Structures are given as C-alpha cells and as structure tokens.
Amino acid sequence: MTVSEIRAKYLEFFKARTHEVIPSVSLVPENDPTTLFISSGMQPLLPYFLGATHPMGSRVTNAQKSLRTQDIEEVGDNRHTTFFEMLGNWSFGDYFKTQQLSWFYEFLTDVVGVDPSRLYVTAFIGDEVLGIPKDTESGQVWKELFSAKGIDALEVDVGTEQNGAEIGMRGGRIFYYNAEKNWWSRAGAPAGMPTGEPGGPDSEVFYDFDPTGSMHNPSFGKECHPNCDCGRFMEIGNSVFMMYVKKEDGSFGELPAKNVDFGGGLERIAAASNNNGDVFLIDALQLVIRELASSGKNYNDPEYQPSFRIVADHLRAAVFMLGDGVRPSNTERGYILRRLIRRSVRHLDKLQIDASVVGRIVDLLIEYYRDQYSELSASHSAILSGILDEERQFRKTLMNGMKEFDKISKKGSITGEDAFLLFTTYGFPYEVTEELARERGLTFSREEFSKKMEEHQKLSRAGAAQKFTGGLADHAEQTIRYHTAHHLLLKALQLVLGSDVHQRGSNITSERLRIDFSYGSKMTPEQKTEVERIVNEKINEQLPVFRTVMPKEDAEKFGAEHEFGVKYPEMVSVYSVGPVHGTADAPQIAEAYSIEFCGGPHVSNTSELGQGGKQFKIQKEEAVAQGIRRIKAIFV
C-alpha cells in the first residue's frame, strides 16, 4: 500500500468508529515553549488529557506532521527519518485498552493486510515503588487477539532492555518491559517527568522484518528481542494509556479520566506493508530517490546509499518546515532547518548531483503531499527559494570557510576552538566541520566545541551587562546610538576615501558624534554625500550588532579596526555590524559590514539609529592637524 492509501484508510477506519478527523497542526508549536517542533500528535491535545472538553467530542483522529531532531545524526540507516507523519487516534475518557488494542490490530491485519505472525507486542511490567501494577489487562487482550488468528501468544517478563539482550525471545509474543520502554509522557519515563505532567503505561506493536533472526548483530546485545536496535524489529504503533499525572511529592495520581493516546509512524507502517525494513523504499520517499538516481548513481551502492537517504529525508523535512513558515537562521528552528539544508547540499555534492535537482524534488514532494497538506502548494515559491537561497549562501560560506579549514587541518587535528571559530565566523555548522574532519581522518572533539560555545554565550551575556565608557560622555540612549553610528561612519569613510583611513580620536555625546581620522585632504561634497548615503543605507538594512570576545590574533585576522596607539590584551572584545543573518551565537564576522576592537556599549540593531525617520548627516568636516581630519555628525 502507498503512504497516501494507508493514511486515507486509517482515517476512514476511525471515522467509521465515530471519530472526528481533526486537522494536522503546524510543525511549529503554538503556546508551547518547551519544544521547538511538534514531534507527536498528542502535543496540541494536552489540555484534553488534563480534563478540558474537546470541541469535537471524546473521539478524535488525524495524521500529524511531526519532526524529531534528535535523530538527525542517525539519518542514513534504513529506518531513521527526521520528518514523519504520525497517525493518531485519541479517546478522552471514552474507550480504553480493549477497544484500542483490538482496533489497531484489526487495522493492521485486516485493512493494511499485515501478516499477524510478523507482529510482536510489549506492555508495562509494573513498578512497585510507583504503585503502578503490571499491565496484564493489555496482555490478556493481546492473547485473545492473536489467538483469534490462530497464534498462541506466550508472555515473557523482560524488565530492562539489558535483560532482554540476555534472555532473548524465549518463544514469546507478548513482552513486558520496565518504564524505560513501556511508559510514555512528553518527558519520557516517570523519573524525568515534571509535576503536573500526564503520562501512562503503553503497549507497543513491533513488526518483524527477519523471522529467521539471521540479521541480528551481537554488537546490539547478545540476543535479539523486540526492543533490540539491530533492525529486525521496528516499532510501528504505540498505544499510551494516559491516566496518571505526576504529583508534587513525586508520586502519581490519576487524571480526571482514563484516556488513550495512540501514535503510529505512517512511513513505518508503509514499510511493514511492503515487508521491507528500508523505509526509504516507500513510495513517498522513492520519488525523491528515483530523481536522485537519474544522475547515474546507484541507490544500492553502499558508498552512496546514506547520501541518497540523507538528501531524501532532509529535503522532505525542509519542504514541510518552510511550508510552515520556518526560515533558515542561526538559532532554534531556523538553525535546524539550516543544518538540514546544508547537510543535503553536502550529500548532493557527494552524489555529484547538481543542485538544480532540488527544484524538481520540491515539485515532486509538493505534488505528492498537496492534497493532504494544502499549505505546501500555497507556499510553493517560498519553499523553493528558501532552499535555493540557503544553498547559495552555504556555497559562499563553504568557499570562505574551506580555505580556513584547509589551513587549520594541516595540523592534523581540529580542536574545539577551531570548530568554534569556523562556526562563529564562517558559519560552518559544527556537523560540517565534524564530517569534514572525519572524511579527512582528523581528530575532532565535540565536547570541546560545546564547551567553547558555552563560554562564548556566558561571555556575551556578561558583556551585555558590563559597561564601558570608552570615548563616550555617558551611556544615555542617544549617546549609544551615536556610538554605533560612529562605527558605521568609520567604515563608510574607508569605503569612500580608501582603506588607509583610520580613527585617530573620538568624542561622543548625546548631541552629536565627533571622529578624527587620517586623511590628507578636504572631502568633496560628493564624497560627503556618498558617506552619508552609505551610513543611512546600513541603518535601513537593519543590521544586527554583536559583541564577540576572541583572541586578539583572530580579531586582527578579520581586519578589525584598532584604536591608534592602544595596547590590547590577549582576549579582546570586538563589535561587528551585520550581516543580517548573523546571530549572537554565530555573528558571521567574516561577512560583517564593520568590525572594530571596542568595549561598547552599542545598540543591538542599526534600525534603532534611524528612529523617528531621522537621517544621518555630516554637519562639519575640517582639518585638525597635518593629515588628520575631523567630522561632526548628527541625526536630523
């Protein structure tokens, strides 16, 4: 069955059982700061488990767009994807275990046509400390369901995953695991749940792709069992019996009602219906793989297979993210999108496929999904340009950064400091540095990189709180604005009069700014107008302003302006203005409009300078000494 067929049949099935079909919400959660993306159909339904009345009644169902970012690094094997669709059905205090397990089983075996002998199930073994009993009720339901298909389902108590690897299958069909495996809440197992969080025991269904067990690899554990990660078993559905809530004292109380929260990965159910454990063989992903294969590379070639999968997964995820209004940036959601696009570009390169294929892939995906997710066709051009603009931006970044990377890599290793510099100044996502390092057999430590990032964030925060007076009369708002304008002006002077122009003195009050700079002759009216035009242009461009603390050497490498005659310490504070896509974590200093050694303070965006429509204007330009000119400038 195709992905679209399974989705349609599932929704029909539950509609026929008096469920209301509710729409998929955006991947970007509303009113939920705890998560960057929707990663499960239940997230937007949280209030209804806690007791609120759902406007559509006590039975609802849908297919929900979902994204799990923790798996980005895993993509490339036969089953991990970042984006997926989750089929869900919910009972808010309506039906419970028997009905839920029977329906899902019926759907799988009678509607999708899955062979019941390939299905294995799990349930909660119970927890004495929490006072939550073993879920023998689910076990009993499963026994009867299998028995009706002529299968004698034996129960096995497993407990921990480690024990599962010790004892293996034992001829079982129904396996009881502990809360690490058979308990579900948004925060995982009971111990990690915050007060007020709902959760409950769950029962998972696994599909067996390798009944002989010949696929099992002992590196995943001595024996294979349903929760083993070797690839023999794949989880295709999870029925959560959402009935508990964590109390202040750490114990569990009961929710106002006994609810069901079912979620099943559509792509995985499609893989089970294909009886092939490679989820990339399902029709929705094959259309991308086939397009990539038209370049002549073979999907089954082990050298290229991971790249095929990474491009297919990441581009599909990017299409859905852009369709929900996410745009590439250096923070949060935008950074995840940026990573996905940049990673697909790298793997397109590996496949030696021209990026023009991206347009065709976007068209194919939108065509495939448009009936279900109309927002995709509505933002077709934004999706396409979102990916292509980022690709272009990344190529530029790669070109600059690769030179630096090549230089650094001559040492034979990439330190956390190197990776940090590549990230903050050249926009190299750390994954790219890591992948390049791996490709070239260089050592690389992510911990060291993360430590540098943390230090940097701490310093930036401290920097924002710290006050320096520099050449400033005070720290009144207007004075700070003139200070940032001073940086814009110095750079504009260099652009118009030449790179030999340097600052020789400055004085800034809340009334005006004054700069003394090296230049041998009087400025022409045209030069003055051009300098003013550039400064005002930079204000209109709304460039972000960043402070970075870095080794003096690095700052010099970027050509940061120093003040004449000042001796600087080993670590210096640097202010950079622009580019627009820079962020506090990754200011992209290599692309900045202006960069100066400076203690601050500054406005955080140049847009703050032109407030009230005021324009930057040179009031006076005169000589103060041989080869030194002075400008006084104001906002009018």
Binding residues for ligand SER, rule: CB under 6 A, are 40-42, 88, 184, 238, 240, 261-263
CB of 184 to ligand SER, least distance (A): 5
Distances (CA, A) of 458 to 33, 418, 445, 547: 22, 19, 21, 12
- CB contact set of 253 (below 8 Å; sequence gap of 6+): 244, 245, 247
Pick between residue 10 and residue 262 the one whose CB is nearest to ligand SER.
Answer: 262
Smallest CA-to-CA distance from 146 within 88, 89, 96, 205 is with 205
Pick between residue 184 and residue 519 the one whose CB is nearest to ligand SER.
Answer: 184
Token pair belonging to 508: 């800034």
Helix, strand, or coil here: 361? helix
Helix 97-106 vs helix 136-148: angle between axes, to the nearest 10 degrees?
30
C-beta atoms surrounding 594 within 10 Å:
24
Pick between residue 265 and residue 587 the one whose CB is nearest to ligand SER.
Answer: 265
Pick between residue 266 and residue 586 the one whose CB is nearest to ligand SER.
Answer: 266
CB of 386 to ligand SER, least distance (A): 28
Alpha helices in 115-223 (DSSP H): 136-148, 161-167, 179-182
Are 377 and 370 in contact by the 8 Å Cβ rule? The answer is yes
CB of 172 to ligand SER, least distance (A): 22
Pick between residue 38 and residue 488 the one whose CB is nearest to ligand SER.
Answer: 38
What's the CA gap between 74 and 318, in Å, rounded?
17
Kindly compute the dihedral angle of the four CA atoms of residues 73, 76, 81, 83, in this order, to the nearest 10 degrees: 80
Pick between residue 43 and residue 576 the one whose CB is nearest to ligand SER.
Answer: 43
Pick between residue 168 and residue 237 the one whose CB is nearest to ligand SER.
Answer: 237
Smallest CA-to-CA distance from 24 within 313, 374, 308, 283 is with 374
Pick between residue 44 and residue 601 the one whose CB is nearest to ligand SER.
Answer: 44
Are 310 and 76 in contact by the 8 Å Cβ rule? The answer is yes
- CB contact set of 82 (below 8 Å; sequence gap of 6+): 67, 68, 69, 71, 72, 75, 313, 314, 317, 340
What's the CA gap between 598 and 592, in Å, rounded?
15
What's the CA gap between 605 and 577, in Å, rounded?
8
Smallest CA-to-CA distance from 327 within 545, 28, 23 is with 28
Alpha helices in 154-230 (DSSP H): 161-167, 179-182
What's the CA gap between 359 and 92, in Å, rounded?
43
Pick between residue 200 and residue 610 the one whose CB is nearest to ligand SER.
Answer: 200
What's the CA gap between 622 and 85, in Å, rounded?
68
Are 155 and 222 in contact by the 8 Å Cβ rule? The answer is no
CB of 260 to ligand SER, least distance (A): 9
Angle at 493 between CA 488 and CA 495, to 5 degrees: 95
CB of 90 to ligand SER, least distance (A): 8
Pick between residue 132 and residue 205 the one whose CB is nearest to ligand SER.
Answer: 205
Pick between residue 66 and residue 576 the one whose CB is nearest to ligand SER.
Answer: 66
What's the CA gap between 39 and 96, in Å, rounded?
23
Pick between residue 96 and residue 568 the one whose CB is nearest to ligand SER.
Answer: 96
CB of 235 to ligand SER, least distance (A): 9
CB of 88 to ligand SER, least distance (A): 6
Pick between residue 59 and residue 452 the one whose CB is nearest to ligand SER.
Answer: 59
Pick between residue 69 and residue 393 the one whose CB is nearest to ligand SER.
Answer: 69
Smallest CA-to-CA distance from 622 within 528, 532, 536 is with 528
CB of 263 to ligand SER, least distance (A): 2
Q: In what order do the strands lie in the sheet with 545-551?
A: 545-551, 571-577, 594-597
Strand partners, 59: 91
**DSSP 8-class letter at 127:** B
What's the CA gap between 337 and 342, in Å, rounded?
8
Q: How far is CA 370 from the centre of its chain?
A: 24
CB of 67 to ligand SER, least distance (A): 12
Q: Which residue is nearest to ligand SER (CB)?
A: 263
